[in-house]
Amino acid sequence: MEKYTVKLTHDERANLLSLIKFGKASAAKLTHARIILATDENNITKPKVDIEIGKELHVSAKTVARIRQQFVEYGLEASLSRKPYSNPRLPKIDGDKEAHLIALRNVPEITSYS
């Protein structure tokens, strides 16, 4: 397995620490920030393995490895954000059909009294 080395600059580290300190981001973004800080090899005397970091932050070792790889390949912002969800299914009802259903719902019932 290929090892991706995370080396944060002083500004990146300060940015991540302030993000965690204020806690005004999504839980996933905060967890990713904690993972990146834990994997930083500039600030750690003895680097931890992914399994240790995963146990510490309550995520899998595979998640730690994936975040580390995203940081090295795509940068800080890409590793903090989640992948956009792509729904392969098309909606069952489009706007025209929905408007037709609403129009049918609003038609008063015709009752005949004999």
Indicate the average pLDDT of the chain: 86
Helix (H) or strand (E) holding 79: helix 76-80
pLDDT in tens, 27-71: 999 999 999 999 988 876 677 888 999 999 999 999 999 999 999
Q: pLDDT tier at 111 (50, 70, 90 boundaries)?
A: low
Q: Report residue 32 as tokens.
A: 């990713």
- Could you list the residue range(s) of the whole structural domain that residue 76 is in? 10-80
Q: Is residue 53 part of a domain?
A: yes
Q: Is residue 15 part of a domain?
A: yes
The string of DSSP codes covering 6-68 is B---HHHHHHHHHHHHH--S-HHHHHHHHHHHHHBSSS-SSPPPHHHHHHHHTS-HHHHHHHH
Domains identified in the chain, total number:
1
Distance CA 45, CA 39 (A): 12
Q: Is residue 23 part of a domain?
A: yes
pLDDT in tens, 63-93: 999 999 999 999 999 899 877 777 778 888 8
Q: Is residue 49 part of a domain?
A: yes
**Is the pTM value of this prediction over 0.75?**
no
Q: Is residue 30 part of a domain?
A: yes
Cβ contacts of residue 70 below 8 Å, gap of 6+? Answer: 78, 79
